[in-house]
Amino acid sequence: MKPHSNTAESTQHITTTIDRTLQQAVALHQAGQLQAAEQLYSKILLVQPNHSEAHHNMGVLAMQMKKPDAVLPHFMAALEANPTHGPYWLSYIDALIKTGQLDAAREVLALARQQGIGGGEINALAIKLSDSATTITPSTIEYKHAYKEPQPTSLSASNKIKNKPLKSGKSTKKSATHNKKAPAPQDVNSLVSLFTEGHFTKAASVAQAMTVRYPLHGFGWKALGAAFNLLGQNTNALAPMQKAAMLLPYDADAHSNLGITLHELNRLDEAEASCRRALEINPELVAAHITLSFTLHELNRFDEAEMCCRKALEINPEYAEAYNNLGNALKAQGRLDEAEASYRRALNIKPDFAEAHSNLAVILHELGRLDEAETSCIVALRIKPVYAEAHSNLGVILHELGRLNEAEASYRRALEIKPDYAEANCNLGATLFNLERLDEAQSCYQRALDINPELADAHYNLGNTLKSQGELQKAEICYQMAHQKGLYGARIRKALLLPSIMGTKPELFRSRAKFEQNLDKLIEENVPINEPLKIIGETNFYLAYHGLNDRDLQVKIAKYYEKVSPSLLFIAPHCSKSKLVASKKIRVGFFSKFLYSHSVSLCFSKIIESLSLKPQLEVTLISNSSIDDNIYANFAGNRVRIPYNLPGARKIIADLELDIMVYLDIGMEPLSYFMAFSRLARVQCVLTGHPVTTGIANIDYFLSTDRMEPNNAEEHYSEKLVRFPSPIVYFSRPSLPAILKTRLELDLPNDQHIYMCPMKLQKLHPDFDEAITRILQLDENGVIILFEDDLRPYWKHDVIKRFQNTIPEHLRVRIIFLPWLSNPIDFMSAISAADVILDPFHFGIGSTAAMTSITGTPLVTKVGEFMRGRVGAYYCEMLDLSDCVTKDTENYAKKAVQIASDQQLRDKISKNILKNNSVLYENLQPVDDLIDFFNSVMSDKHSV
């Protein structure tokens, strides 16, 4: 037997359930439990969308909860469902009056009277309407029949009025609204004129009245939906649009308009269906093609979106909006040059098209033409000053130009215009992050997520901020959320997460082992990555501080990136040529982000300036940040600014047709790291700005010095190691201030031995904790001076947390943290006030040696296994301080205490430093060494 159902019984059961739910809702409503009542009314409307009482009561609720946009649609729906019930007319008219739609209220009141609705309350509304034309306030008038505010109703079954179909030709008072099936032509024309003149609020009022008078005629609904849409009230527009499409099944415009509204409400599949229905009716309807292109674009069907735009342009070749949308589709497919041409075509047709100017700026930004991009944004904003998206785009460009304060101002202007702009909040957070205002950045990301919890970039950036603040577990949660929302780069960030400050030795090994295990999982997953700089945006910077041989791990990481992102292996066209064209000059490019006041420029700027003056070289200085003219004042070569994106950066550098590319550093920031995978010059090298191997196959040479490298150093590099006779650095001799600050002025103890480590805290390896412990054990009058990070104050807490597990409590009280001293006079004063400078291991002193040596303060160092831990020993050798070089931790501690405790020994060492320190400064030998190297490698290339 087949299962069956009793339809009558089933319907009766549903009706009974709805009645019971309505009574519960009304009871809650009258008791003031508005949200609970709203939930029950909504349940009723899900089952019975045309339930008049539920709609009416939802309208009352909306008034009480101050949701004006929801009031009229619910009252209108109640009236449409039951046009003979007087209270619905009263509520609707009153709502129209309260929202200032007086003409519509008068129209509806007249219709109500035609329906036979009368009595004291409707008369009170009529008086209220007539009074609205004067300046008399309602409080000055006494009504004989005062109109009562709408109240929630629950009609008993006996009072319900059933809508019966009217018979043709019959006319009664109850059917007065149907006597005339369509609005008069002059009424239609009048309504169209309101749209033409831009009076959309008035148009909405007139259209509402028309839908009440002619509820089965589609034009009024179509006009009402269009008016709401133009007023930005897309939620209110939807129901009239749907009604219009239902009443006008063969009206292409009605379906197209519905598609627009559905698109605005992010109901993309429905929007696509409506647009396609419109195009079935009228294949030449340009608006439907354009809306369909928008919709397909947001569904990531970019090739189909492109086809829609091209079809629109076949119909109307001078349609600027279609060229603009075509540009968007081409951009999404990575066809940037074509996208640029499309935007420019739109602007040829419509020069004041602000959106096309803004979109052109986006393309120019991605092509690395930042100055042009900035100009396009400015033009867009001249045309449309309150254009939030253009302000945000300008912020992105200014950020990449290094003008962070201006970028911040642009984002804040965007948010003044559009406070709920999640992306602008996210972008502002990124700028504040780069300004090292991490707490403010965190607040911006949180605001972005409050507005749009689905914004993956905000979860991702919040994770980056929490990571920088040492909140690794919270960062992992954010990365997980970003990954769940489609951002695979967050999966990589989470997998390769390393603490900025190392924990104890066992914790260090565990974090490194976890890193390697997660890397193996990523390799196994083999998920393709299209834009690694954007999607991953991080290097393996902190591995270098672990004190281990990183070569195999760095190679493994690089091979993973090569595999999942083969686009990284870009080859500049000139590098593919088998034969070299003889040139008078060797073209050399130097790249770094840090061409400003930074240790990288401190080491290399004078060498680059000197090379730029050599006639046999054509030198180009390349950066994605501003180049400090004070530091590079004597640079005579070319300067090139590249964007922070790989395609644009690679194209600009490829066009230089470099013979040799020298990275001053690789691994401290993402652009240099991911750019290094490409072949942008025939020969590619890296200097010691970040003294650890890159693991990248396309970096041919690591330029180091024999005097800092161990005998087996080749085992530490994936590149071919070049052992220059002296370090490729040039230090200008610092000037020692005539008057130095005293210990008292620096908040240093005056009567204790000071062992100072003036380094960044990430250099403090847990092995170094043992040296601190032994020094404090051997010298009861000694204190250790460390420096808080100037940008990351929370690092101090992570170091202290580790010390609690590695250094006894009674010794820890003699470890003092000072604020970071950015002022050179304060810094040199502090170094001069110390008894001994402690060189940390296994990543020791670097450019700081140029400052410490000028003061004559003794340095104690331990020879490391890798070049990054042997720099201090080299400087001691140059300064004739062999006694300050040790080979184990115990002797390191003893030597430091011996020097601090023996004034004569300290004076002797200081005298040696001051006598010999000239060897560290103003040495131009590296310039000649580099020229010899350049000639040699180019000679090899020519011979090949």
Percent of the chain with pLDDT over 90: 67
Q: Which fold has domain 570-724?
A: Rossmann fold (3.40.50)
Domain boundaries, the chain: 420-501, 570-724, 753-920
Confidence check: pLDDT of 876 > 80: yes
Confidence check: pLDDT of 308 > 70: yes
Closest CA relative to residue 387, chosen from 363, 364, 427, 353: 353
Confidence check: pLDDT of 371 > 70: yes
Rounded to an integer, the average pLDDT of 297-318 is 93
Give CA–CA dist 886/733, Å, rounded.
27
Rounded to an integer, the average pLDDT of 542-566 is 97
> pLDDT-derived band of residue 559, with 50, 70 and 90 as boundaries?
very high
> pLDDT-derived band of residue 369, with 50, 70 and 90 as boundaries?
confident
> pLDDT-derived band of residue 140, with 50, 70 and 90 as boundaries?
very low
Give CA–CA dist 140/144, Å, rounded.
13
Confidence check: pLDDT of 943 > 60: no
The answer to whether 570-724 and 753-920 have equal CATH topology is yes
Report pLDDT for 213.
87
Rounded to an integer, the average pLDDT of 186-196 is 85
Closest CA relative to residue 649, chosen from 620, 668, 622: 622
Confidence check: pLDDT of 123 > 80: no
| CA 701 vs CA 536, 571, 685: distances in Å | 26, 18, 5
pLDDT in tens, 225-246: 999 988 889 889 999 999 999 8
| CA 241 vs CA 260, 261, 415: distances in Å | 10, 8, 31
Report pLDDT for 8.
37
pTM surpassing 0.75?
no
**What radius of gyration, in Å, describes the C-alpha atoms of the chain?**
37
Report pLDDT for 135.
29
Confidence check: pLDDT of 883 > 60: yes
Rounded-to-5 percentages of helix, strand, coil across the chain: 60, 5, 35
Q: What is the dihedral of CA 5, 7, 9, 11, to 10 degrees?
A: 130
What residues pair up with 720 in beta bridges, in sequence order? Answer: 701
Q: Where are the alpha helices (DSSP H) in 625-739?
A: 646-655, 670-675
> pLDDT-derived band of residue 802, with 50, 70 and 90 as boundaries?
very high
Report pLDDT for 580.
61
pLDDT in tens, 337-358: 999 999 999 999 999 999 999 9
Confidence check: pLDDT of 144 > 70: no
Average pLDDT across the chain, whole number: 88
Report pLDDT for 132.
55
Both tokens assigned to 746 = 């620096």
Confidence check: pLDDT of 83 > 60: yes
386-391 CB contacts, 8 Å cutoff, 24+ apart: 386/417, 387/354, 387/355, 387/358, 387/417, 388/414, 388/415, 388/417, 388/418, 388/421, 388/424, 389/358, 389/414, 390/354, 390/357, 390/358, 390/361, 391/417, 391/424
Provide the residue type at 459 as one letter. Answer: H
Confidence check: pLDDT of 65 > 90: no
Give CA–CA dist 123/90, Å, rounded.
10
Both tokens assigned to 608 = 């680059």
Q: What is the CATH number of domain 753-920?
A: 3.40.50.2000
**Residues 78, 56 contacting (CB under 8 angstroms):** yes
Q: Where are the alpha helices (DSSP H) in 765-870?
A: 766-778, 795-806, 809-812, 824-833, 849-855
The vertex-233 CA angle with 128 and 203, nearest 5°, equals: 55
Give CA–CA dist 834/753, Å, rounded.
8
HSE, CB side, 13 Å, CA atoms: give it for residue 889.
14
pLDDT in tens, 383-435: 999 999 999 999 999 998 888 999 999 999 999 999 999 999 999 999 999 89
**Residues 256, 291 contacting (CB under 8 angstroms):** yes
pLDDT in tens, 433-479: 989 899 999 999 999 999 999 999 999 999 999 998 889 999 999 99
Both tokens assigned to 317 = 């070749």
For the chain, the straight-line distance linking the first and the last C-alpha, in angstroms and rounded, comes to: 88
Give CA–CA dist 24/587, Å, rounded.
83
pLDDT in tens, 660-689: 999 999 999 999 999 999 999 999 999 999
Confidence check: pLDDT of 7 > 50: no
Backbone φ and ψ for 789, nearest 5 degrees, come out as -75, 135
> pLDDT-derived band of residue 942, with 50, 70 and 90 as boundaries?
low
Give CA–CA dist 290/122, Å, rounded.
47
Report pLDDT for 3.
32
Both tokens assigned to 3 = 């299962």
State which CATH number among 3.30.460.80, 1.10.150.20, 1.25.40.10, 3.30.930.10 fits the domain covering 420-501: 1.25.40.10
CB-based contacts of 100, cutoff 8 Å, min separation 6 = none
